[in-house]
Amino acid sequence: MQTQKPIVIKTKPLVPERKKTFRISREGAFILLCLLPALLFVSVFTYYPLLRGVIMSFQNYTLFDLLNIEFIGLDNFVNVVTSPEFPRVAMNSLYWVVISLFFQLLFGFALALMMRRRFRGRGIYQAFVFFPWAMSGFLIGLIWRWMFNAQFGVINDLLLRSGLIDAPIPFLADGKWAMAAVIIANIWYGVAFFAIMILAALQSIPEELYEAAAMDGAGRFQQFWSVTLPYIMPTMLVTILLRVIWILNFPDIIYSMTNGGPAGSTHIFATYMIDKVIFGQDYGQASAIGVIIVLILLLFTVFYVKATKVEKGGDF
């Protein structure tokens, strides 16, 4: 009887693996070299001022006493929040953002729907609609400042000619009218951005979707509600988020129209911060206001993204 020989499996001795060394290829080094100027530019003009502003918000940094700058903790934030002007500045900032955003979206959406249709002279009409966005905010503020002028402004002239008023209204000299005046100017300026973004989204909707909806018996309103609105919703959500950030950080129109007056009645956070620098020479409190603006926008962005699911393309 034959016996089977035992099977012997020979294994090679384990050789320790060599550690892979990180090496940058020539292409990677060239790409890094090309990006270096941009990274340096962003670091110098964006990240360093941001870091420096945060540090200054915890210091008693004033131009009147540069030799005794020291860290004072949260004193700048406490002084800003407890100042008598802060509640009015906060409410003005809320009105400035909410009212401007609502009417910019409303009028921008309507203009985008009108420009989507083909009609004679549509290119000229689009140029007039988009023209305000090509101008600087400070220049627009100067234009509207002359238009709201109590003596020879075109708005008072039109109101007088139409018989709606008996005497000129000092729009920019009266605190009751000044905030409304700057908001109207900001609405006129920001409508173009919404019109541009929404029109681009409308033009990307395939016509087949409307044809399919019409074959299913959907009317104009049903097509708008079931096809148009869901398709452009991601664009609208992102546009609203951008406009909130830009409007809150947009002091140009207010500063060129009223300089925050009269008696600080049109101050928002951004103009209040500039006022602290120019008239108070207090860079510590101005930096604290800047940090407050960043925190407000950060909290709003996190809440907005979670509530609207904008990170998923706006799908509800």
DSSP 71: B
Mean pLDDT of all residues in 32-38: 87
Contact between residue 268 and residue 257 where contact means Cβ atoms under 8 Å apart: no
Mean of the per-residue pLDDT values of the chain: 85
Mean pLDDT of the 18-45 span: 79
Is the pLDDT reported for residue 105 higher than 70?
yes
Alpha-carbon Rg for the chain in angstroms: 29
At residue 4, does pLDDT exceed 60? no
| Range name among 8-12, 103-107, 128-132, 292-296 with the lowest pLDDT average | 8-12
Query: Where does residue 143 rank: exposed (0-12), middle (13-18), buried (19+ CB within 10 A)?
Result: middle
Predicted local confidence at residue 315, as pLDDT = 45
Q: Which one has a higher pLDDT value, 122 or 279?
A: 279
What's the maximum distance between 2 C-alpha atoms anywhere in the chain?
129
Residue with tokens 């004679």: 120
Please name every residue paired with 59 in a beta bridge, in sequence order, or none if there are none: 71
| Euclidean distance between CA atoms 310 and 53, whole angstroms | 30
What is the three-class DSSP state of 76?
A: helix
What is the average pLDDT across 240-254?
92
Higher-confidence residue: 304 or 308? 304
* Contact present, 97 and 186 (Cβ < 8 Å): no
Residue among 107, 88, 29, 98 nearest 260 (CA) = 88
Q: Which residues of 175-195 are buried (b: 16+ CB within 10 A; e: fewer)?
A: eebbbebbbbbbbbbbbbbbb
Residue 309: per-residue pLDDT: 74
The proportion of the chain whose per-residue pLDDT surpasses 70, expressed as a percent, equals 90
User: Which residue, 86, 1, 67, 36, is CA-closest to 289?
Assistant: 86
Angle, alpha carbons 128-132-138 (nearest 5°) = 155
Whole-number pLDDT of residue 186: 94
pLDDT at 316 (0 to 100): 37
DSSP 312: G
* pLDDT tens digits for range 49-97: 889 989 999 988 888 877 888 899 899 999 999 999 999 999 999 999 9
Model-level pTM? 0.83
pLDDT at 314: 45
Task: Name the nearest CA neighbour of 145 among 304, 3, 258.
Answer: 258
Q: What is the pLDDT of residues 163-217, one digit of tens each?
A: 888 888 899 988 889 999 999 999 999 999 999 899 889 888 888 888 888 887 8
